[in-house]
Amino acid sequence: MAVVGVGAAGLCAVRHLVSRSDTFSVAAFEQSDRLGGTWVYTDTVGTDRHGLAVHSSMYTNLRTNLPKEVMAFPDFEFDTNLPSFIKHKDVLQYLEDYATQFSLRQHIKFGTQVVRVQPKPCCAGESRTGFRHRWEVTSQPVGVKEQPTTEVFDAVIVCNGHYSLPLIPYIQGLETFPGEIMHSHNYREPQHFQNKRVVCLGASQSGQDISLDLSASAEIVYLCHNKVPLVSRLPSNVHQKSGIQSVQGSLLTLQDGSQITADCLLFCTGYHFTFPFLSQDCHLNIEDERISPLYKHLFHTEFPTLSFISICKLICPFPQFHIQVQLVMAVLNGSHRLPSKEEMEADTEADFKQRLADGMPARYAHTMGDRQWAYNDEMATMAGCQPIPASVTKLFREVHEIRTINLVGYKSVNYQMSHGEYRPVS
């Protein structure tokens, strides 16, 4: 089995595959020289010393937006001495510890970028998994002049992350803006915006958290977005405004017709999916942030041995990866049989139609929110593995509610398990 990328998702895949070394052998490819993906903070923006695009979107002051009690993989706790909402370096340490605990590093080819993944029809008797395709995986050592190597695998598990390629919406007149324009992917620290008037466009996790982070340094922060207004109290220099309609120099006209002037424009508008290493023959299509044809956001319907961990958005990531990986393994070892391609595609279409019927825009094809729990339970049942504990779901929902009313203070609370439930402790 080949694993592409060793962030949290790829690491989780390696951890479970090596636990069944009777059935699976694994080679994981990681382009950087460290595991941890987005949790590997770097001051660098743009490209790294090897000319690769910087992968991580971490910033200096980032703390987790989930308490470590719900964020953890179900089979590996965070250091119990840490507070509930932890620094990015503590998450990276946790992933390093997980790799140590399960002896995972020996299976990872660091500094090796996957440049091409190509399906190859099997001849009779060739595939150990009983599937119709195998995979040529071409990888290239990073930063050295060496020829790429091609190896053949029974399955490929794609874990390359999707918070690295900035999505910048078209805005009329943007090119006339005289000040700095940045995407949250390149945001590192608030001092950079000392005494500036900054517009943060988009009020999802990045827009909300970075606005607060900026408020200590910037003169004024306009959190511009098109959602229902946040109800939480905000710092006195953070002002919610509607989204940007057009730009004329440093004057911005907003969707509601009002106007503001700003020095800097920070796009907190999210990211694109990208799989540059998948060959044309993989028949993967991305349209309006929807990846097709995927069954359960996980399996390529035409090539079930090509799977994707971590596609879903607005989720509790590590526990979901834990379940998804086990389902992929159950399919690969034959203990779970997938429906026919047609049935899988009908299921995916029904899920998509239901989302539209529920009022979600098409670009929310992989956005889960409260849908994640039923999804996780369904995946766990299919995989024949333990579901995510109810205490995790409960605390996730509780934190979500507290965050809504107290965005500024919710990360100061600590939680402790008592009588099977997490409770806040002071």
Ligand X SMILES: Cc1cc2nc3c(=O)[nH]c(=O)nc-3n(C[C@H](O)[C@H](O)[C@H](O)COP(=O)(O)OP(=O)(O)OC[C@H]3O[C@@H](n4cnc5c(N)ncnc54)[C@H](O)[C@@H]3O)c2cc1C
Question: Closest approach of Cβ 180 to ligand X, in Å?
Answer: 20
Question: Closest approach of Cβ 411 to ligand NAP, in Å?
Answer: 8
From the number of C-beta atoms within 10 Å of its C-beta (0-12, 13-18, 19+), residue 402 rates as: middle
Q: Using CB under 6 A, which of the segments 63-71, 241-249, 254-262, 355-363 binds ligand X?
A: 63-71
Any contact of residue 422 with ligand X (CB under 6 A)? Answer: no
Can you give the binding site for ligand NAG, defined by CB under 6 A? 23, 326, 329-330, 333, 335, 383-385
Any contact of residue 205 with ligand NAP (CB under 6 A)? Answer: yes
Contacting residues for 148 by C-beta, under 8 A, at least 6 apart: 115, 116, 138, 139, 140
Q: Which of 56, 39, 38 is nearest to 47 (CA)?
A: 56
Give Cα 242 to chain centroid, integer Å.
26
Contact 89, 8 (CB under 8 A): no
Any contact of residue 380 with ligand X (CB under 6 A)? Answer: no
Q: Using CB under 6 A, which of the segments 67-75, 197-205, 290-298, 416-424 binds ligand NAP?
A: 197-205
Question: According to CB under 6 A, which one of 40, 62, 266, 291 is a site residue for ligand NAP?
Answer: 62
Does residue 37 sit in helix, strand or coil? helix
Site for ligand X in 160-199 (CB under 6 A): 160-161, 163
Return d(Cα 79, Cα 141) in angstroms, integer: 34
Binding-site partner at residue 23 among ligand NAP, ligand NAG, ligand X, none, CB < 5 to 8 Å by type: ligand NAG
What is the per-residue burial (b if ≥16 Cβ within 10 Å, else e) of 267-296?
bbbbbebebebbeeebebeeeebbbbbbbb
Question: Closest approach of Cβ 119 to ligand NAG, in Å?
Answer: 23
Output 29 or 131, the one with its CB closest to ligand X.
29
Output 91 or 238, the one with its CB closest to ligand X.
91
Any contact of residue 225 with ligand NAP (CB under 6 A)? Answer: yes
Report CA-CA distances (Å) from 112 to 9, 181, 282, 382.
Answer: 17, 32, 21, 33
What is the amino acid identity at position 60?
T
User: By rule CB under 6 A, what string of x and - marks binding of each residue 101-120 to ligand X?
Assistant: ------------xx------
Bridge partners of residue 23, in order along the sequence? none
Site for ligand NAP in 164-193 (CB under 6 A): 169, 184
Binding-site partner at residue 329 among ligand X, ligand NAP, ligand NAG, none, CB < 5 to 8 Å by type: ligand NAG
Q: Which residue matches tokens 């796009």?
A: 267
Any contact of residue 213 with ligand NAP (CB under 6 A)? Answer: no
Q: Where are the beta strands (DSSP E) in 30-170?
A: 108-109, 112-121, 133-141, 149-153, 156-158, 165-166
Q: Which of 193, 364, 375 is nearest to 290 (CA)?
A: 364
Question: Closest approach of Cβ 386 to ligand NAP, in Å?
Answer: 24
Q: Write out the H or E segment, with its range, that includes residue 3.
A: strand 2-4
User: By rule CB under 6 A, what string of x and - marks binding of each residue 264-283 to ligand NAP?
Assistant: ----xxx-------------
Site for ligand NAP in 125-144 (CB under 6 A): none
Contact 112, 29 (CB under 8 A): yes
Site for ligand X in 136-155 (CB under 6 A): none
Contact 41, 60 (CB under 8 A): yes
Question: Closest approach of Cβ 187 to ligand X, in Å?
Answer: 9
Output 279 or 381, the one with its CB closest to ligand NAG.
381
Binding-site partner at residue 269 among ligand X, ligand NAP, ligand NAG, none, CB < 5 to 8 Å by type: ligand NAP
Contact 112, 30 (CB under 8 A): yes
Any contact of residue 226 with ligand NAP (CB under 6 A)? Answer: yes
Question: Could you please report the per-residue DSSP string of 384-418?
Answer: T-PPPPHHHHHHHHHHHHHHHH-TTTGGG-EEEEE
Question: According to CB under 6 A, which one of 3, 4, 278, 332 is a site residue for ligand X?
Answer: 4
Any contact of residue 211 with ligand X (CB under 6 A)? Answer: no
- Provide the binding-site residues for ligand X, judged by CB under 6 A: 4-10, 29-32, 37-39, 55, 57-58, 62, 64-66, 71, 113-114, 159-161, 163, 277, 310, 317-318
